[in-house]
Amino acid sequence: MKNKLVTIFGGGGFLGRYVVKELANLGYRINVITRTPSLHLDLKTAGHVGQISVTYCNIHDDGQVLKAIGNSYAVINLIGLLYQKGKNSFENIHINFPKKLAQICKEKNISKFIHISAMGVDTSSSKYARSKLMAERGIVSTFPESYILRPNIMFGQEDNFFNMFARLACFSPMLPAIGGGHTKFQPVYVCDVAKSIAILVDNDKYDAGIYELYGNEIVTFKDLLKFILKTIGKKRYIAKVPFPVASFMGKCMSVLPVPMLTEDQVEALKFDCIANNSYKSLKDLGIVAAQFEHIVPTYLVRFK
């Protein structure tokens, strides 16, 4: 047992569950920070008795954040939003909080600070991407030795992409190919992203900076929709939805408690999300990227 403490903000989310498992297997003590501890107590089963704690923290309260970090060896920020609702704005969650967290970690001499950003923030004009890019700049100016990871669209058993469209195909006669479905992606396996985080926590040989995490295959949005339909054995019409129409749809859906699409997400789809080879990648961490064609069918089988 290493007996080093790692604090994970947002550890109860999709990626967080896999990060907890990776770090627990390496012997770290883990403090999972979440708004709803009672919903994530199952995370404790990923380690030995007492190895993993699940703690409430109001991230807008500096005192609570400071207490949550405690004597951590490493701090990981996985908190992020796909859409804005009330106080949970991109400015508050993507820009202000990460910079504040980085500053606290710097003042407390935390050995490692790892922040999850997103691929494509260099080029996209969406509010989501711009807020992620501003967060990166704020972190680097505060804690230059930070590790910033930019994953592509992530796939895995609980993902919100392949599962969503497979579910949609179960009751809808068509699937929407926004902007014609020409946007390019390089999907990355959530386990590979989690391994990247664990490797950076557990090793001192890797330089700080930006890492882009992506798969080897470049595929279009339309390619992914076709793959989903083939995997679940359903025939559906793939409708080309022009960006202006999709933007209007996103604007209307934004009023829903959990919108399936927002205007800003449509804006993001106007830009390809592929590597520009300017940053370090999975290969630099010794990870061979898993292919989505091999993994996704194992969990979409329930939609057949």
Check if the beta carbon of residue 20 is closer than 8 Å to that of residue 55.
no
Nearby residues of 287 by Cβ (< 8 Å), 6 or more positions away:
192, 195, 196, 199
What 3-state DSSP class applies to 184? strand
Residue ranges of the chain with per-residue pLDDT less than 70: 1
Q: Which residues contact 301 (CB under 8 A, 6 or more apart)?
A: 232
- Separation CA 250–CA 263 (nearest Å): 4
Provide long-range contacts, Cβ within 8 A and 24+ apart, for 191-196. Answer: 191/18, 191/156, 191/290, 192/282, 192/287, 192/289, 192/290, 193/15, 193/18, 193/149, 193/151, 193/154, 194/15, 194/18, 194/19, 194/21, 194/22, 195/22, 195/285, 195/287, 196/149, 196/282, 196/285, 196/287
> In one letter, which amino acid is 202?
D
Burial class of 14 by CB neighbour count within 10 A (0 to 12, 13 to 18, 19+):
middle
How far is it, in rounded angstroms, from Cα 292 to Cα 283?
17
d(CA 212, CA 119): 7
- Cα-to-chain-centroid distance, residue 113: 16
**pLDDT, position 235:** 96
* 8 A C-beta contact, residue 296 and residue 207: no
Q: Are residues 260 and 246 in contact, defined by beta-carbon separation less than 8 angstroms?
A: no
Which residues have C-beta within 8 Å of that of residue 42, sequence separation ≥ 6? none
DSSP track, 114-129: EEE--TTTTT--SHHH
pLDDT at 139: 97
Check residue 256 and give its pLDDT. 87
CA–CA dist 123, 275 (Å, integer): 11
pLDDT at residue 276 in the model? 86
